[in-house]
Structure formats: C-alpha cells, structure tokens
Structure 1
Amino acid sequence: MKTAIHTSNAPVPMGPFSQAIIKGNMIFVSAQLAGDITTGQLVMQNIQAETNQVMKNLEAILKEAGAGFCDVVKSSIFLKNMNDFTVMNEVYSSYFEKPYPARETIQVADLPAHVNIEISMIAIKP
C-alpha cells in the first residue's frame, strides 16, 4: 500500500503526480520547482533565490510526511546551466548536516515552466 502526501504549504503539482508518496518507511518526494505559494509565482530572480524556494517546498513536503532533511538519503538535482552549480551547492548544503545524502546533479536542456532548477528527494521515515 502507498500513501499520497499533500500539503498546502508547497505548490500543487503541475501534472498527474503526488507531492510525495510513502511506501513502507520510504518517502519519495517529487521534483519541486521554485513556486512560492504566497504569491502563486515562480521565484526566478537568480539561482540562489530559486534554490532556496525549491528547498523550502521540499522541506514543507517532508514535514507533512513526518520527516526532515536529516532523513533524506538521496537527492536528484536537475540544473539548466551547470555554471550555476557552485551557488546552488552553497544554498543546498546549508539545509543539511553531515553525513550529506547521496546525490547526482544533472544538466538538462530545459525544465517545466523553463525554470533553472528542479530537485527530488528520497527519505527514510523516522
């Protein structure tokens, strides 16, 4: 059995998918964009602001699932421009303590709504 997670503290999915799914003790969080639920707009001023908003959205979903960043075991980061890697990495790493989750960062040609970053996560429910 799997359980869908939904919080009003993160953007509504743009397609036929859940914000997250819990299966057993595993939490699979769908990739998040930098949607700001207070304005209904995408945060795209710069990669720092965009990454911060993505992480806030992920945090809200993890919280709704009963977890936090300390429970994340794997992240997948999709960047439109690998030149943004250093700044993105500084923001991303500020949300974690060691040991950091396993991760890959992949440069892609485009992302939904033409954003610059999208991040998904897998966590283990405490």
Structure 2
Amino acid sequence: MSQRQNISSGSSREPVLGYSRAVRVGNQVVVAGTTAGSAAGAVGGSDAAAQAREIFLRIEKALTEAGGGFADVIRTRIYLTNIADFDAVGAVHGEIFGDIRPVTAVVEVGALAAEDLLVEIEADAFLQ
C-alpha cells in the first residue's frame, strides 16, 4: 500500500472537522473543496472570478506541496451559489487550464459554508 501524505492549509477548521486540504496516495492527489474564505471574509469580496483566482492559488499551493502542479490535474468540480457566475468563473478556469483541459463539472448549489462564499472548487490530479 502506498504511503499517505496529508497536506494542510493551516486552517483551524481542519482538525476540528477532521479533513485535509489535500491527500496524496501514490500518484493520486485529491484536493478538497476549496473556497476563498478567510477570518476577514471572502477574499475577492462579491466578485466570483476574484474568489476563483484566490481558490486556484490555494489549490496550486496544495498541489505543489504534494509534488505536482496544474498540469497534473485531471478533474475539477466547481460549485457556484449563482449559476449566473458560470462565464466569469469559467474564464478563470480557462486561464489556468486552457491547454491542460481536465474534465470538469459546474453545478449550482443552495449555499456554501459561509454566506459570502460564492465559489468552491475541488481538483483531482495524477502525478506522472
């Protein structure tokens, strides 16, 4: 069995809720649902694209710690509290993954963990 590497974002919620920002087992890395949340409120405010940019910075940090990067991502999942933000958030996704082209899903959800969060993104990667 491959050794497991838990990757923390440093969030105080991780030990309380019992989760990691990402987990690597063998060549597979799974990045948890990631938001732009902070103690001062959502990074990016009420701009879904700005929140997505912050989220991708956080995802990139986790992937790097796991030994990978965006080029290794094979799947993303995007959760929006307002599907009208689809094009704006999709454009940010396209900036990151234009030539990589992982499979993705975009769904509208009723709410995220805090009222000011507009976007949550998950990523799965396979390291070569």
What is the TM-score normalised by the length of structure 1?
A: 0.87
Cα shift readout 1:20-51 (whole Å, capped 9, x = no counterpart): 11112100111111136xx8542123112111
Matches within 5 A, 1:14-33: 14=13, 15-33=17-35
How far apart are the structure 2 equivalents of 1:75 and 1:7?
19
How far apart are the structure 2 equivalents of 1:63 and 1:41?
25
Secondary structure, aligned partner of 1:42: coil
- Report if the CA contact (8 A) 2:9-2:20 is conserved: no
Q: Does residue 71 of structure 2 align to residue 70 of structure 1? A: yes
Secondary structure, aligned partner of 2:93: helix
Q: Does residue 123 of structure 2 align to residue 90 of structure 1? A: no
Instruction: For structure 1, list consecutive stretches of 5 or more residues without a partner in the other structure.
Output: none
The one-letter amino acid of 1:74's match is R
The one-letter amino acid of 2:42's match is L
Instruction: For structure 2, list consecutive stretches of 5 or more residues without a partner in the other structure.
Output: none
Question: Could you say which residue in structure 2 is the equivalent of 1:58?
Answer: 59
Using the TM superposition, name which of 76-85 and 95-104 deviates more.
95-104
How far apart are the structure 1 equivalents of 2:55 and 2:79?
12
The one-letter amino acid of 2:90's match is N
How far apart are the structure 1 equivalents of 2:119 and 2:93?
11
How far apart are the structure 2 equivalents of 1:64 and 1:48?
25
Cα shift readout 1:33-71 (whole Å, capped 9, x = no counterpart): 1136xx854212311211111111111111111111110
How far residue 6 of structure 1 moved from its aligned partner, in angstroms, is 2.5
Closer, same or farther: CA 16–103 of 1 in aligned 2, 3 Å: same
Give aligned-pair identity as a percent.
Answer: 27
What is the TM-score normalised by the length of structure 2?
A: 0.85
User: Alpha carbon RMSD of aligned pairs, Å?
Assistant: 1.7
Closer, same or farther: CA 72–17 of 1 in aligned 2, 3 Å: same
Secondary structure, aligned partner of 2:33: strand
The one-letter amino acid of 1:102's match is V
How far residue 98 of structure 1 moved from its aligned partner, in angstroms, is 1.9
Question: Could you say which residue in structure 1 is the equivalent of 2:82?
Answer: 81
How far apart are the structure 2 equivalents of 1:102 and 1:29?
15
User: After TM superposition, what 4+ stretches of structure 1 lie above 3 angstroms from structure 2?
Assistant: none
